[in-house]
């Protein structure tokens, strides 16, 4: 609790929040709904014309997207940085951001987003020593259920109840408790970091995984790849979020059984595991901190900072 309160400054969200497009272009209707949600909750979002760029499946060239991030962190009037959407492309920014690590470490502003943005979370946590917020992108804010929306605002306001996450649908796959730094995010995005200079280290960490639109054999491939790279060998705990295939009634062969992830990860028998954690690409997407020390209790089905 001491580390969290020291590094996470909820008061910062009373200031200017810069919205940046780090990955793919976005639907303006969804984007506007997210901006309206923030304003309704007394958060003040701003964005440059560069955020509206579109180059095929990307929101502009890598240099343009990286420039948005660097400008937002350098601007003394910007209190926090929030991503517009995920998709693909954030990985392209890392070689550019690497040349500005000193400035980023000095700025240390709250950074919010998820999905493809996972690679930026990993970079900020691993390379810059930051604490970040794994939470909805601007374009997904309007589709959240009310509980996730309330939880997000409570977290940004620094209310104590927001730093203990639980849900009645969480399942205990392996009992036990663990304490460590929380890392992780989108499974495919994490796998894409393997073999790069920004490959994450999960030793002694609580790892959170979520995925969307991937059938079981592809999830198997990603998890196996991470295992063979040694990423699960020394983890303290595993939390599995939403890994559903986005169809109204997906057939059985498209539904990911979280036990598959546990089996393919090769984690030790004493590692606690929770599944059904309320995080991912669905209506439930509870914001939580990455880079902060927390305790997971697989029996009480909670993650507490």
Average pLDDT over the chain reads 93
DSSP-derived secondary structure for 229-283: TTTTTT-SEEEE-----SSSS--GGGPPPHHHHHHHHT--TTS-EEE--S-SSSS
CATH architecture of 2-143: 3-Layer(aba) Sandwich (3.40)
- Give the per-residue pLDDT at 283: 94
pLDDT band at 1; cut points 50, 70, 90? very low
Domain range 164-304, its CATH number among 2.60.40.1120, 3.30.300.30, 3.50.50.60, 3.50.30.60 = 3.50.30.60
Distance CA 128, CA 272 (A): 29
* Catalytic positions, written as ranges: 115, 210, 281
Residue 285 banded pLDDT, cuts 50, 70, 90: very high
Strands across the sheet with 111-113, in order?
44-46, 16-20, 78-83, 111-113, 132-134, 288-290
Q: What is the tens place of the pLDDT at every residue in 241-253? A: 999 887 666 666 7
Distance CA 11, CA 18 (A): 15
pLDDT confidence band for 255 (50 / 70 / 90) = confident
Query: pLDDT, tens digit, for every residue of 72-102?
Result: 999 999 999 999 999 999 999 999 999 999 9
Contact (Cβ atoms closer than 8 angstroms) between residue 210 and residue 279: yes
Question: Do the first three CATH levels of 2-143 and 164-304 match, i.e. the same topology?
Answer: no
Q: Which two tokens stand for residue 162?
A: 């927001």
Domain boundaries, the chain: 2-143, 164-304
pLDDT at 183: 98
pLDDT of residue 76: 92
């Amino acid at each position: 609790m001491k580390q969290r309160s020291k590094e996470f400054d909820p008061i910062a969200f009373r200031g200017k929040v810069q919205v940046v497009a780090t990955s793919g272009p976005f639907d303006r209707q969804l984007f506007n709904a997210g901006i309206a949600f923030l304003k309704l909750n007394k958060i003040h979002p701003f964005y440059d014309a560069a955020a509206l760029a579109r180059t095929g499946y990307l929101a502009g060239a890598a240099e343009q997207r990286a420039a948005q991030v660097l400008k937002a962190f350098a601007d003394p009037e910007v209190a926090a940085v929030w991503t517009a959407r995920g998709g693909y492309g954030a990985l392209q920014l890392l070689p550019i951001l690497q040349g500005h690590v000193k400035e980023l470490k000095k700025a240390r502003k709250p950074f919010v987003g998820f999905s493809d943005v996972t690679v930026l979370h990993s970079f900020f946590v691993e390379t810059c020593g930051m604490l970040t917020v794994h939470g909805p992108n601007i374009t997904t804010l309007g589709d959240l259920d009310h509980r996730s929306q309330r939880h997000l605002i409570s977290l940004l306001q620094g209310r104590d109840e927001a730093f203990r996450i639980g849900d009645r649908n969480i399942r205990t796959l392996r009992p036990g408790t663990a304490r460590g730094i929380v890392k992780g995010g989108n499974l495919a995005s994490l796998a894409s970091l393997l073999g790069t200079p920004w490959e994450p280290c999960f030793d002694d960490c609580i790892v959170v995984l979520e995925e969307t639109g991937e059938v079981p054999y592809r999830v198997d491939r990603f998890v196996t790849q991470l295992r063979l790279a040694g990423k699960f060998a020394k983890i303290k705990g595993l939390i599995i979020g939403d890994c559903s295939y986005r169809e109204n009634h997906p057939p059985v062969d498209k539904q990911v059984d979280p036990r598959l992830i546990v089996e393919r990860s090769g984690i030790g028998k004493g590692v606690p595991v929770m599944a059904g954690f309320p995080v991912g690409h669905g209506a439930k997407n509870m914001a939580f901190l990455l880079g902060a020390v927390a305790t997971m209790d697989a029996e009480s089905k909670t993650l507490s900072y």
